[in-house]
Structure 1
Amino acid sequence: MSRFLTPHIAALPSSVPFTGPETIERRKGQAFRARLGANESGFGAPPAALAALRAAADEVWMYGDPENYDLKQAIALKHGCGSEHIAIGSGVDGLLGLTCRLTLAPGDKVVTSLGAYPTFGFHVANAGAEMIRVPYLGDHEDPEALLAAAKRHGAKLLYLANPDNPMGSWHKAAVIEALVKALPADTLLILDEAYGDLAPEEAIPEIAADHPQVIRFRSFSKAYGLAGARVGYALAAPELARAFDKIRDHFGMSRLSLAAATAALGDQSWLGQLRADLSRAKARMAQIATENGLTALASATNFVAVDCGGDGAFSRRILAGCEARGLFIRMPGVAPLDRCIRISLGPEAAMDVVAEVLPQALAEARA
């Protein structure tokens, strides 16, 4: 251990929240036939975004605009707010890290769901704060229990994803709006809407951009197929949005990423086509699950959680069998959610691999 690390950092585990598919491919010595574990969009990016990437390639020698001006204007137009409400960052993950740096001191309390998106917990641990985890209620995060825990522990942050990862479930807008109204005065709601562009309208709450206790996150990695470009944004009251400028890397966004994301927002017809593609893929995934004696859960995202009817050990055997046969998928990390596997949706060719491999992995796991 390096003697130059702080005691807190030295005590943290040397781990990352996810094992990337590339790591598994290197270990196996072969590429996956279908990459359906990271909730990337196998349907690709909007043509306008790809064209913008190509056009910007000749300008890659230049830094991106440190004020992210054009993208902020496009996002403000989409959400009907001012650009002063927007902070840009390297995906929701990067923005969550900045948020924890901005708001948390060692010993602060943070409330989240047991089994929810693990990268948030990674950043909370880095900040030296204490995480309080509340069990899911069935296949949904439990807003009432989260709120009660925040009040009981005096939580600085309350994290909720809607739609949810890893289960794909969602709450109606009224549920989220009620949670916002009931927040303790000193609690900030971290509302992760990375899948918001794919969710039904009933899931998107009406929350004023000026609300001082809510910060909302959106991603270009899911609906817009730009996971590799690493672009996300936060919507918050101006004083909170401006605070990101205190610590962000002002040249952290590449010129190519900014161009692609700005163009993507101008191609809203893409979302309609993507929703139709995802609807077909969900129906195919439900059919595959049923044919194998499994249950595909309802999803408002670009993935489906499939209830395998067993425990976590059984699901891990299925996961291993799929990996061995060239299918990259993932699963929730804690019980009882780990009775499921999680499969990203993709084009027919990718779904064909699932239809071929899953029965083989299941037979092996059951044996």
Structure 2
Amino acid sequence: MASDLNIVRPEVKQLTPYNSGLTIAEVQRRYNPRKISKLGSNENPLGPSPAVVSALTSYAANSHIYPDPAGQALRTRLAEKHGVAVEQIILGNGSEDLLSVICRTILRPGDRMVTLYPSFPLHEDYTTVMGAEVDRVGLDAALEIDVDLLLAKIGTGPRLVMFANPMNPAGAWLKPDDLRRVAAAVPAQSLLVIDEAYAEYAEGDGYLEAPDAMRGKDSDWIVLRTFSKAWGLAGLRIGYGIVSTSLLTGYLDRVRTPFNTNGAAQAAAIAALDGEAHVRTVVELARTERERVRSALEEAGYRVVPSRGNFLFFDTGTSGTDISEALLAEGVIVKPWKQPDYERFVRVSIGTAAENDHFLDALSKTRS
């Protein structure tokens, strides 16, 4: 048997394993701490609404039947929510599934994709797998989005422009006028994809939702959303895209697998949409606690990137991996960032007040 696996495509060999974060069970086995606060994956600490639990119980009896491959009931609800045609909605096994579908539909070997950096790794990984080039736009010296550089790179006509707003992991976001400038700058031959996984947390003054910025734009665009974060359905894997035209949706549908969203996830997402009050509670907790944790980190001397997500990205001043490992011993799970130039940074999710206190107390012990 060949040891270097020449049958594997070279693009795949370029990838590094995705850092999906440690589970509670893994930390329990390694350190057996008195308590564990899982703050590494930007999960909603309050969980889904009670209506979701009820919907999942009711659905269980139908588990032997294939789900609706078109997800028509959920797509109809989402179209109503966003004021678009049903044909402009596409469902995915989490929004990350749709990132793969988009890259497989659009990118060719040698194409170029412009993205913000540090990035959600799958934006880059799926681009690399297709043999396309990743063109990064890093944060500026103030740890804000370098809008002028982003506009300059967009102006060169890349095949794809794809980034998260707010950014993951940084939490930085495009101000409304900047987002409008970006939308206007994308040439007709490019596709603009904006990943709004954290839009619910970002809503309010100073933030413009991408679908509103895209309306009336002639060129093609896709806005991605997920039920994994504010809606509390991370374990069910359900996300969706709002697509500029039904024609583009049709091509994406040819690439996605026919049953890419399971029936339980579809039922849970429909029930979740009835729980807007629950989501408002989740978002308010995240916003209040995010500011409290940010203030505490800054008072302790850490440099923190301003964030509109349910997480904070901060410079530890040393190895983020070492700090994260020390926190694990105290029962706190965070995510050390491992992309080049950001190895000193850690991303911490905003949990309950008790979980955040656990994190701050454990972090203080790493400096003693």
Q: 1:257 aligns with which of 265, 283, 292?
A: 265
Q: Does 1:229 align with 2:233?
A: no
Q: Once superposed, which parts of structure 1, at least 4 consecutive aligned residues long, lie more than 6 Å away? A: none
Q: 1:332 aligns with which of 318, 321, 337?
A: 337
Alignment-derived partner of residue 34 in structure 1: 37
Q: How many Å separate the matches in 1 of 2:273 and 2:237?
A: 15
User: Which residue identity is paired with 2:149?
Assistant: A
Alignment-derived partner of residue 350 in structure 1: 355
Alignment-derived partner of residue 169 in structure 1: 172
Q: How does 1:1-367 map to 2 (within 5 A)?
A: 5=7, 7-8=9-10, 11-13=13-15, 15-22=16-23, 25=27, 28=30, 30=32, 33-137=36-140, 138-152=142-156, 154-201=157-204, 202-203=206-207, 204-205=209-210, 206=212, 207-208=214-215, 211-236=218-243, 237-290=245-298, 292-308=300-316, 310=317, 313-334=318-339, 337-363=342-368
Q: How many Å separate the matches in 2 of 1:3 and 1:296?
A: 43
Q: How many Å separate the matches in 2 of 1:254 and 1:26?
A: 31
Deviates more, 1:139-148 or 1:318-327: 139-148
User: Which residue identity is paired with 1:230?
Assistant: R
Please give the per-residue CA displacement for 1:271-325, whole angstroms capped at 9, x wherever unaligned. 22112211332233134324533344432111122343x2xx4433222211222
| CA positional deviation for 1:4 | 8.2
The alignment's C-alpha RMSD in Å is 2.4
| CA positional deviation for 1:92 | 1.5
TM norm structure 1: 0.90
Q: How many Å separate the matches in 1 of 2:11 and 2:115?
A: 22
Q: How many Å separate the matches in 2 of 1:64 and 1:184?
A: 38
Do the aligned partners of residues 259 and 211 (structure 1) sit closer, same or farther apart at CA in structure 2, a change above 3 Å counting?
A: farther
TM norm structure 2: 0.89
The answer to whether the Cα contact below 8 Å between 1:332 and 1:341 also exists between their aligned partners in 2 is yes
| CA positional deviation for 1:19 | 3.9
Stretches of structure 1 that go unaligned for 5 or more consecutive residues are none
The answer to whether the Cα contact below 8 Å between 2:108 and 2:130 also exists between their aligned partners in 1 is yes
Deviates more, 1:212-221 or 1:290-299: 290-299
Please give the per-residue CA displacement for 1:13-42, whole angstroms capped at 9, x wherever unaligned. 4x4221431395387264771110111111
The answer to whether the Cα contact below 8 Å between 1:63 and 1:255 also exists between their aligned partners in 2 is yes
Q: How many Å separate the matches in 2 of 1:298 and 1:357?
A: 22
Where 2:186 maps in the other structure, the secondary structure is coil
Stretches of structure 2 that go unaligned for 5 or more consecutive residues are none
Q: How many Å separate the matches in 1 of 2:338 and 2:145?
A: 15
Aligned residues: 358
Q: Percent identity?
A: 29
The answer to whether the Cα contact below 8 Å between 1:162 and 1:170 also exists between their aligned partners in 2 is yes
